[in-house]
Structure 1
Amino acid sequence: MQQVRMLASALLFLSRAAAIPYLATAAYCLLCFAFRDTLVHPIGEGRFVINFPFTNQRFLIGDDSGFMYVFEMIAFIALYGLFFWLLGNIFQIFRAQKLFTERGVRRLRIFYLLNFLLPLPFLVYHVATRYEVEIVVILSVLHTVLGIFAYFMAVIFVRGLHLQEEQDLIF
């Protein structure tokens, strides 16, 4: 079990190392679009550039400055930050001394529900607008498969929690 804890700790660190830049980028994009006139620079034909803070070096380049494109861009960045953060929460479960806990079951439920539900609005929108449908379908399928595995883990954890509670009652 010690090897599992070490691996879970390393994966927790990696998932947080991925989540923090995604979340910071989403927050920075929101800030830039809140002050659009000074922080978002048009480069022609509806395209725009967001520079690194306090520099003139390009950070993000957008193809369209319309609301839906900008909303979707920021939402994708923020949701992948959330995804990696929640994935880290799953790894935290495996670092604990007691494996089957209510908190672990709750974390697994949140993870599988978000993997099932969050891709759906993006999928519907992209199918309706016929824009980059293949990519969104692939991402939706991958998140659904991941959600299925997390659901199976949650069911196992619920069963383990019940068995653990029964055993605690005996002693």
Structure 2
Amino acid sequence: MKNVKFIATLLFYATRILAIGYILSALYALLSLVTHWSYMTTDNDAYFAICYPFTQLRFLLGENNWNYKIFEFFVPIGGYGIFFYLVSNVFSAFKQPRLFTAFGVTHLKRFCLANTFVPLGIIILALLLTGNVVEGLEWAAVIHFFMGVFAYFLYAIFKQGVDLQNEQDLYI
């Protein structure tokens, strides 16, 4: 069990750092897109670049149209920030002294629901607002759906483990 806690701790910190990086990048990109701070366009406004703060070094690049900015730029960066945050919470559950806890079950349930339904919601929103789906988004949705189903199985196992532990605690 020590190995599991050690690996879970390493993965918790790695995914939490990734989550913070993605979320900060998404917030910075949103600030830059709205205020045009550290923002430049190229090729007759066909492309944009968001620069590192207080420099002219390009940090994020993309096509200069709002469909792209929303569904291929901001949503993936922000969405994966949230994804890595949820993953880090799952790893946090594995590094606790007791494995089967309500804390772990809650985080597995959130991870399961987010992976199962959020990509589908993004696809529906993209279809309603733009009339098309970004290339590759359907495959990402399928992958996240299967991750959500797998997380659901883990959630069910952990929920049963918590119920058995609580039942065992009543007998003692």
Give the TM-score taking structure 1 as reference length. 0.91
CA distance in 2, matches of 1:39, 1:65: 17
Structure 2 residue aligned with 1:39:
38
- Give the CA deviation at 1:62: 1.2
Structure 2 residue aligned with 1:139:
140
5+ residue gaps, structure 2, are none
CA distance in 2, matches of 1:130, 1:162: 45
Letter in 2 for 1:69: Y
How many residues are treated as equivalent by the alignment?
168
- Give the CA deviation at 1:45: 4.2
Contact 1:47 1:61 survives alignment (8 Å): yes
Change (3 A) 1:35 1:164: same
Structure 1 residue aligned with 2:161:
160
Structure 1 residue aligned with 2:68:
69
Give the TM-score taking structure 2 as reference length. 0.90
CA distance in 2, matches of 1:92, 1:15: 10
Letter in 1 for 2:56: N
Letter in 1 for 2:6: M
Percent identity (aligned): 35
Letter in 1 for 2:46: G
Q: Deviations over 1:81-109 (max 9, x none)?
A: 11011101101111011111111111111
Change (3 A) 1:81 1:141: same
Moved >2 Å (runs of 4+): 121-133
Letter in 1 for 2:39: V
Q: Deviations over 1:29-73 (max 9, x none)?
A: 11112212x43211124311111111111111111232x322221
- Give the CA deviation at 1:126: 5.6
CA distance in 2, matches of 1:126, 1:2: 47
Q: CA RMSD in A?
A: 1.7
> What pairs up with 1:1-171 in 2 under 5 angstroms?
1-36=1-36, 38-43=37-42, 44-66=44-66, 68-72=67-71, 73-124=73-124, 125=126, 129-133=131-135, 135-171=136-172
CA distance in 1, matches of 2:35, 2:93: 40
Letter in 1 for 2:69: V
CA distance in 1, matches of 2:95, 2:146: 24
CA distance in 1, matches of 2:168, 2:121: 43
CA distance in 1, matches of 2:52, 2:146: 36
- Give the CA deviation at 1:153: 0.5
